[in-house]
Amino acid sequence: MKMTQKTTKTWCLRLLPVVLFFISFVTYYCSHSFLQSYGGASKYLNSSKSLCGGWVTQKKWESLNFNISRQTQLFLRLEDFFWREHLSKLALPYGIKGSEQLLLKVLAVIANYEVPANIENLDCRTCVVIGNGFAIKNSSLGSVINKYDVVIRLNDAPVRGYEADVGNKTTMRLFYPESASYNPSLHNDPSTLMVLVPFKQQDLRWLKEILYDEKRVRKGFWKPPPQIWLGDTRKIRVLDPHFLHQTADRLLQIPLYPKSKQKPVHPTTGILAVFVALNYCDVVHVAGFGYPTSKNQKHPIHYYGYDTMRSMKDSYHDLSHEAEALKRLEDSGAIFYLHPHT
C-alpha cells in the first residue's frame, strides 16, 4: 500500500510540469487567437492587466533574451549620471562622452526627470506606440488607442484632424530638433512629456539655446530646427542614449561606428520607441508601423502630409532590416499590431 502511494506520488510529481505547461499553452493560445480578430483590441485591452506578471509576459521577456527590467530609468538625471563612477566611453548617439558640459547645463534647467506618478505607480502599464506610417490611415483605431495607459508618438506627427484613426491622447513624444514642432500644444496634451532623442551634440546645443534663450546656431542640422519653441520646459526629458545603443546593438545588430567609408546607419525613432516601451511597459502594442511594399516611389509613406517613398532614399536608416526586427518581436509575442499589416 505504501509502495503504491509512493509510486502514485512520484508519477504525479512527474506529470505536474506537463500539466502546468499544457494549461499555460492553452492560456496563451486562447489569448493570442482572441487578439487575431481585427476590432477585438479594445475588448482585449480591458482585460490585458490580467496578463501582467503572468506566464505569457514572462515568456515574452525570455524570448527576447534582453536584460530588461520594468524599473528602468528612461531619462537622464543630473544626480546619477554626471558623477557616475564609470563615465560613458561612447559619444552620441550611443553615449554621452564629450557632451557632459552641454548635458550639465540642460539638466540643471529641466530639474524634473521622472515619469508622472500616476503612470509610474501602475501595477500594470499598457502601452501603445503609434508609428507615422500610412497603414494606420482609415483604421478607426482612435478610441482604442486612447484607452492605453501610455501612448507614445513620434516626431511631429499630427493628431488634430486625424483623431478617428490615431486618437488624441499622448503620454510621451520622442523627437529630435529637426523633427520638433515649434508649438507642441497643437498636437499634444498639456501633460505630454517631450522626450528629446539626442543623435548629435548639436541636438543638445539646440535644446540648451532654447532653455537659456540664447542665440540659435543653425549649422549642423540636415533640416532647420525651430528657432522658437513654445513648449512647456517642465515637460522636457532627455532620453538616456543607453536605449539607442541597445536598440542598435542588441535588437538591430548594426555597427555602432562604421568605418569611415561606410555610410552610418542609425535606428529610426519608431523602433527606438518600441524598444523603450519593451523596457518600461508590461503590455506593448503598436500601430502605424511599416512602409508600403509598393515599388511606386510616389506612394505616400505617412498617414499625413505628402512625403513619398522617394524621400526615404538617402536616409540614415535600414528600413528593411528594422521590418525584420519588428517581425521577430511580433512572432515572439513581445509586441502586437492593432491592425492588419504586411
pLDDT at 35 over 70: no
Identify the H or E element spanning 43. helix 41-47
Q: Look at residue 59 and tell me if it is in a domain.
A: no
For residue 123, what pLDDT is reported?
A: 85
Q: Which of 51-65, 183-197, 240-254 has the lowest mean pLDDT?
A: 51-65
Identify the H or E element spanning 16. helix 2-36
What domain range is 160 assigned to?
Answer: 72-337
Number of domains in the chain: 1
Q: Look at residue 15 and tell me if it is in a domain.
A: no
Average pLDDT on 304-311 reads 78
For residue 87, what pLDDT is reported?
A: 73
pLDDT at 233 over 80: yes
**Which residue has cell 564629450?**
98
For residue 29, what pLDDT is reported?
A: 41
Helix (H, G, I), strand (E, B) or coil at 123: coil
Closest CA to 20 of 52, 68, 58, 47: 58
pLDDT at 150 over 80: yes
Q: Look at residue 40 and tell me if it is in a domain.
A: no
For residue 25, what pLDDT is reported?
A: 40
For residue 169, what pLDDT is reported?
A: 98
Q: Look at residue 12 and tell me if it is in a domain.
A: no
For residue 42, what pLDDT is reported?
A: 57
Q: What SS3 string covers 157-221?
A: CCCCCCHHHHCCCCCEEEECHHHCCCCHHHCCCCCCEEEECCCCHHHHHHHHHHHHCCCCCCCCC
For residue 143, what pLDDT is reported?
A: 96
Give the single-character DSSP code of 334.
S
For residue 299, what pLDDT is reported?
A: 78
Residue that wins the pLDDT comparison between 70 and 20 = 70
In the predicted model, what is the mean pLDDT of the chain?
Answer: 82
User: What is d(CA 270, CA 244) in angstroms, rounded to the nearest whole number?
Assistant: 11
Average pLDDT on 281-292 reads 88
Closest CA to 149 of 173, 174, 120: 120
Q: Is the pTM of this model over 0.85?
A: no
Q: Look at residue 94 and tell me if it is in a domain.
A: yes
pLDDT at 28 over 50: no
- The answer to whether 231 touches 185, Cβ cutoff 8 Å, is yes
Give the tens place of pLDDT for each residue, 96-138: 999 999 999 999 999 888 899 999 999 889 999 999 999 999 9
Q: Look at residue 33 and tell me if it is in a domain.
A: no
Q: Look at residue 178 and tell me if it is in a domain.
A: yes
For residue 117, what pLDDT is reported?
A: 94
- The answer to whether 106 touches 134, Cβ cutoff 8 Å, is no
Residue 131, domain CATH = 3.90.1480.20
